[in-house]
Copies of this chain bind each other. A is one copy, B any other.
């Protein structure tokens, strides 16, 4: 059994990790920390876990964490950067679900997160944990930076186009929409049901923290800098991200082979589902599941490829992908604990 620690477990990412790990046959959760809620049984905060976990939240204890085989960080930015070096020294492996180790350019990181990065050494060594791109590096990594939710949906949709040089990399548009759970569980007026229920809007349209992460990933796939416009929107629902992606084909004749190309690219991926050309993936088709489903579209006489890509922001966009990464790191079947169908309706 893999001994697991979770740092910062009171948010939606934390409870989602527990929901998934509850049915994972190869792990044992040893501790789940929260400074503010230390002492409270996890199941008192999250009654869906009644009968599944007897654990209470505990103060973070470096020694206890160091004894774990793997520690998940589900913390606000800055925390993992501070705590990870000590765990690395102790030989503990880490999957960080926060943004701390995703960006390689730490000036960019500092600008978007408003603080200097406290662990440049490990920022350089961390592996960006998108299994569809970096499975081999993840296998050997001690520190995996779990991708952001939007970047996962956007990158998976654009990758086959960019890797094959089929589209103009300077004219990418990602119009993305997320359920409210993406904003976490902190009390705020803006995320009240009374504010966001039965309404829809953009946010961060002039610039969002996930933009540099998307740019980094797509640039790597394209082998060149990319020009990407990324506009997030807030959906009046809880779980799910949909990204509608637009790119200009260099040669419209390539439309003929796009579907086959996408299917080939993801043929061996357990969690990417290329649906038939012209399908309309729904977020509910991946609710609670670790899948990304996507489909391609073309409008008549147009050279614009439209890709629509859906994930559950808490699963493939966070906790599920983290467990997928853990499975890879420990040589397990990548699907362990992640093979239940999405919940529909």
Contact = CB atoms under 8 A, between A and B. Distances in A.
A91 to B, nearest CB: 31
Nearest to A53: B341
A195 to B, nearest CB: 7
Contact of A238 (B173, B194, B286): B194
Nearest to A297: B205
Interface string A285-306: 1111101010001111010101
Given A22-B341, A201-B242, A344-B46, A236 B233 contact: no
B47 A201 contact: no
Contacts of A281: 47, 201-202
Contacts of A179: 200
Nearest to A315: B343
A180 B205 contact: no
A206 interface: yes
B273 A244 contact: no
Given A47-B282, A177-B233, A211-B299, A193 B197 contact: yes
Contact of A345 (B181, B207, B286, B308): B181
A256 B235 CA distance: 31
B206 A278 contact: yes
A282 B199 contact: yes
State the oligomeric state as a number of copies. 4
A239 interface: yes
A140 interface: no
Nearest to A177: B200
B345 A12 contact: yes
Interface string A176-190: 010111010111110
Interface string A67-81: 000000000000000
A251 to B, nearest CB: 17
A50 B236 contact: no
A47 B275 contact: yes
Interface stretch (A94-102, A144-152, A156-164, A224-232): A224-232
B236 A193 contact: yes
Interface of A: 12, 15, 18-19, 22-23, 46-52, 171, 173, 175, 177, 179-181, 183, 185-189, 191-203, 205-207, 211, 227, 229-231, 233, 235-240, 242, 244, 246, 248, 273, 275, 278, 280-289, 291, 293, 297-300, 302, 304, 306, 308, 310, 314, 339-345
Given A173-B304, A180-B194, A207-B300, 6 more contacts: A19-B343, A198-B198, A200-B282, A201-B283, A202-B297, A314-B345
Q: Which 9 A-B pairs have the closest CB atoms?
A: A199-B284, A48-B342, A175-B175, A47-B285, A48-B344, A201-B282, A205-B297, A180-B193, A193-B193
